[in-house]
Structure 1
């Protein structure tokens, strides 16, 4: 039996994943070793859809998160502020504060 490829993924790390991940990362998310992940793919028992790209396996992150019971990605206030600031730069306006209105 081979060892895991690292500690299990935490929520913060899971939400920073790209659109698809390699099999080792998906195995970490499920808390299994990569060897077990390969065996599950061979018998059709991997818990989410797996894409074969050449000789490599890729797992769409949306399917991975859904299989882990994570249906929605949380929105953080800092993300909203950054988005509002970026939108203001794009349309040439500046975000108003309550001090600007008085």
Structure 2
């Protein structure tokens, strides 16, 4: 998790954390990257409204990291710096 200047935890993830993610991540990590609360993230997933493509594996959801990068604009930012 990120910290603000006072050392308090903040929601979301840094660009470096996002780029280090594997190909698919659990819904909790996706929620954190999108600054969504647990309840809201699961609600969106159940309703088919999650902002990224999800994979359903048994009872678990997995977020496709490439889609997460696209939603957050991380993929474009990474290409611009190369």
Superposition TM-score tier, normalisation by shorter sequence: 0.7 to 0.9
Moved over 4 A (4+): none
Which residue matches 2:3? Answer: none
Structure 1: stretches of 5+ with no match in the other structure: 1-5, 76-102
- CA distance in structure 1 between the partners assigned to 2:19 and 2:41 by the alignment: 21
Deviation at 1:74, TM superposition (A): 3.0
Could you say which structure has the larger radius of gyration?
A: 1
Relative to the length of structure 2, the TM-score reads: 0.75
Q: How many residues align?
A: 70
Check whether the contact 1:15–1:73 (CA below 8 A) recurs between aligned residues: no
- Structure with the largest fraction of strand: 2
Q: Distance in 1 between matches of 2:35 and 2:27?
A: 12
Deviation at 1:44, TM superposition (A): 1.7
2:75 alignment partner, SS class: coil
Higher RCO (Cα < 8 Å, 6 or more apart): 2
CA displacement at 1:52 relative to structure 2? 0.4
CA RMSD of aligned residues (A): 1.7
Partner residue in 2 for 1:62: 66
